[in-house]
Each structure stands twice: as C-alpha cells, then as structure tokens.
Amino acid sequence: MKNQVTIIYVLNLWLLTILIGPPINGIMNYIAPNMVDPVLYYFMAVALAFSFIFSIPTLLLIVVTYRVLLYYELGMWYEKIIILMLTISGVISTSVLLVPEYQPTIVLTYSIAALISAMLIEMTDRIKNKLRRHSLMVTFWVLKK
C-alpha cells in the first residue's frame, strides 16, 4: 500500500478551513479594506455556524471522493491536490448558490483558508515525522550504549 491520504486529513482540512476563514477575512479587510467585505469577520460566530452547516455537502462529496481515491491508489500528492480542488470547488458552488451578493469575498477568503489549512497540515505532518525519527534514533542510541 502506498502512502495515502487518511480520513483524518480530510476532516482536518475541512475543520481548519472553516475555522481559519473568518479571521482571514478580517486580516484581508485590514490589509486591503476596499478589496473585501468584512461580513465574515464582524459576524464571526454566525459565520462559523453557517460555515459548518453549509459545508456539510462539500464534506460528504470529499469523503465519497476519498473512498474512491482509496480504491485507485493514485498517490498521496495527487489525492491531496484532488481533495483541495474539490474543497475550493465546494466553496465556489456553495457561495454561488447561497450568498451571491458576498460571493467574491467568501470564495477568496475560504479558498485562501483551504490553501493555508493544507499547508499547515502538511507542515505538522512533516514535523511529527521528523520528531518520530529523531526519537527513534535517540532510543537506538541509548539502547546501543
């Protein structure tokens, strides 16, 4: 079995994207106030609640896709790219259907949040692997003496 994306990765990406979205909207509003509408930042609790509810169809689609990808064993990087593209596509389709007046703000904010979430998950996985390897090396070194 090749290295594959786990369901934990899918859930972490979904959860982090939802949690990081409104603060990113606030940061973008601070940096470029005319570029985005601060609606997500001002109503952060409401935005989080609605984000959880309205992202469930996208999550279900990604979980089904994850199960299909397990069958085909494309490789971890391809799987992560497909899941990230589906996440951003889900953000776009949800915002077009539900809140067209805030569509550019929501698409930009949550797309950036998805990219940052994917990078954070990747960085933490690499740090965990390095720590695991380092602790194994220390264990072998101690046992050797």
Give the Cα-Cα-Cα angle 41, 43, 47 (nearest 5 degrees): 90
At residue 89, φ and ψ (nearest 5 deg) are -65, -40
For residue 102, which amino acid is it?
Answer: Y
For the ranges 12-21, 54-63, 64-73, the lowest mean pLDDT is seen at: 64-73
Q: Evaluate whether 53 touches 82 at the Cβ level (below 8 Å).
A: no
Which DSSP category does 37 fall into?
-
Q: What is the pLDDT of residues 73-120, one digit of tens each?
A: 788 888 899 999 999 999 999 888 887 777 788 888 899 999 999 999
Q: Is the pLDDT of residue 17 over 70?
A: yes
Of 45, 49, 40, nearest in space to 21 by CA: 40
Identify the residue whose tokens are 């949690």. 19
Whole-Å CA distances, 62 to 49, 54, 59: 20, 14, 5
Q: What is the mean pLDDT of the chain?
A: 83
Of 35-39, 67-71, 90-94, least confident by mean pLDDT is 35-39
Contact between residue 107 and residue 92 where contact means Cβ atoms under 8 Å apart: yes
Q: Which residue has the tokens 């109503």?
A: 43
What is the percentage of the chain residues whose pLDDT exceeds 70?
A: 84
Contact predicate 25/109, CB 8 Å? yes
Residue ranges per domain, the chain? Answer: 7-144
Tell if the pTM clears 0.85, that is, is over it: no
